Amino acid sequence: MVQNSALYLRLLTPDDVGAHYLRWMHNPAIVQYLESRWSVHTIDSIKKYVAETNASGNNFLFGMFLLESHQHIGNIKIGNVNWIHRFADVGLMIGEETAWGKGYGTEAIRLVAQYAFEEINLHKLVAGIYTSNVGSYRAFIKAGWREVGLLAKHRLLHGVYVDEWLMECIAL
């Protein structure tokens, strides 16, 4: 577990999956930038995803929890770890809309980078962000990441191809 003054991250378990998580996955505003939006979700399918992801050895799916209330507000994942070159992808979702715009994304990105660099000895993290997802872009920039490129017309969003920013963070 890693934490700061407002938030903590811990590996999710299937027991963390409930109606709140299923509600997130069925809300188009929440999943519009997630590749999981193309799938139909049930509590059982989400529990299976959580179990398989964290059992893979190459992925770390963390829940984002508020320190005071222990409310599960979203997830952040270190994924597709390349253990030889020591890099991985990062993706996040804040499912509780009441938690949007409060800096939790930035804090979760900082915490997951701390875990990646200090606990599992990664050298670099990368992320891709739809250019219309300005809130996510700002969160990564505030967390100390930098934009390193743009993939033109790379993702399909609402029937239109959109650009994707490429971001990176390198361990010091």
Strands 146-157 and 72-82: unpaired
pLDDT digits (tens, 9 = 90+) for 20-75: 999 999 988 888 787 776 778 899 999 999 999 999 999 999 999 999 999 999 99
Q: How many CA atoms lie less than 13 Å away from 96 in the CB half-sphere?
A: 16
pTM for the structure as a whole: 0.93
Q: In this structure, which CATH number among 3.30.300.10, 3.30.565.10, 3.20.20.10, 3.40.630.30 belongs to the domain 2-122?
A: 3.40.630.30
Q: At 55, is the secondary structure helix, strand, or coil?
A: helix
Residue ranges per structural domain of the chain: 2-122
* Residue 130 contacts residue 137 (beta carbons within 8 Å): no
Return the percentage of the chain with pLDDT > 70, whole number.
99
The whole-angstrom separation of Cα 152 and Cα 131 is 10
